Amino acid sequence: MRLFKKVSQRETEVRAYIKQHFGVRVKRIENYMEALRHSSSLEVQGGGVSNERLEFLGDAVLDMIVVDDLYHRFPDEDEGGLTQMKSRVVSRTTLNGLGKAIELVEMMDLQMGSNEVHASIYGNAFEAVVGAVYLDLGYKQTRASVNRLFEEYDIQGRIHQTVDFKSKLYEWCQKRRKSIEFEVVRTFHQSGQNKYEMQVRIAGKVRGKAVGTSKKLAEQGAARIACEHIFGPQN
């Protein structure tokens, strides 16, 4: 006689939740049960493992997914620009908001009052679930699952919420009555695309230079470098 493991109502709910929001079928439910177990519940349960290790793993997996995507989507962006875009996508504010949007805390095993639930619990739990998906199904499916969520909640739109460095620079120069001039240094063709190398002069001195696939992008790149000289790193 074949014996079947009894499935709890809790496990059934977790499977349905993961399928609904992450678009994957659970293989090893233990990963997800751990991902949804907050440390506050351990004392009540008399032991067990919280989601903190999976949170650590999920944080690294999320970084890899976002970096992988940005690297291929923006082949002309430099390391500083890519870092800036990544920081918007995987910021605490973004992940906390996404965790709230998919009502993660409502699915969690935690023992605390509603007033004690900090925003960070949502983002931490989201990372833990990503870690669980990775352990259960591997990188390829995790990447597809995360990108699906990002698209559904327009997280990728944050990439384009860039600081207008050119305007910031003009404002700074205007207040100090300094001249500012953008100039195309050269145009060239590379990898099937037209490229523009732009420099910005402030009070006659070159303070930034960058290459872009359009004059506008090159201007923003040059302005960002100039802003870094003036204001420090622009994150």
Residue of 34, 69, 127, 136 with catalytic role: 127
Q: Strands, E, within the chain: which ranges?
A: 180-190, 193-202, 205-212
Burial zone of 11 (CB within 10 Å; 0-12 exposed, 13-18 middle, 19+ buried): middle
* Of 59, 69, 109, 136, catalytic: 59
Q: What is the architecture of the domain spanning 165-231? A: 2-Layer Sandwich (3.30)
pLDDT-derived band of residue 104, with 50, 70 and 90 as boundaries?
Answer: very high
Q: At what angle do helices 52-73 and 139-152 cross, to 10 degrees?
A: 80
Q: CA–CA distance from 193 to each of 105, 184, 190, 216, 229 (Å)?
A: 47, 16, 5, 15, 29
Share of the chain above pLDDT 70, in %: 88
The two structure tokens encoding residue 235: 């994150």
pLDDT at 66: 94
pLDDT of res. 158: 67
Helix (H, G, I), strand (E, B) or coil at 109: strand
For residue 205, the model assigns a pLDDT of 95
Clarify whether 109 is annotated catalytic: no
Side-chain-facing half-sphere of 107: CA atoms under 13 Å: 27
127 is known as an active-site residue: yes
The model's pLDDT over 118-131, given as tens digits with 9 standing for 90+, comes to 889 999 999 999 99
Q: What is the mean pLDDT of residues 221-229?
A: 89
Query: Which CATH architecture is the domain 9-160 placed in?
Result: Orthogonal Bundle (1.10)
Q: Are 164 and 226 in contact (CB under 8 A)?
A: no
- Tokens at 214, concatenated: 């359009």
pLDDT, tens digit, for every residue of 160-204?
555 578 888 999 999 999 999 999 999 998 877 788 999 999 999
Residue 114 — pLDDT band, cuts 50, 70, 90?
Answer: low
Tokens 């000289």 map to which residue?
Answer: 229
Q: What is the pLDDT of residue 124?
A: 95
Please give the Cα distance from 131 to 120 (Å, whole number): 17
Report the pLDDT value the prediction gives residue 190, as an integer from 0 to 100: 81
CA distance 199 to 105: 49
Task: Give tens-digit pLDDT for 25-75.
Answer: 999 999 999 999 998 888 666 667 899 999 999 999 999 999 999 888 877
Residue 4 pLDDT: 46
Mean pLDDT score across all residues of the chain: 87
Question: Encoding tokens for residue 88?
Answer: 């918007």
Map out the domains of the chain as residue ranges. 9-160, 165-231
DSSP string, 139-205: HHHHHHHHHHHHHHTT-GGGGG----HHHHHHHHHHHTT--EEEEEEEEEEETTEEEEEEEEEETTE
- pTM higher than 0.95: no
Section 135-153 average pLDDT: 94
Cβ partners under 8 Å of residue 83, min gap 6: 235
Backbone CA torsion sign across 15, 20, 25, 31:
negative
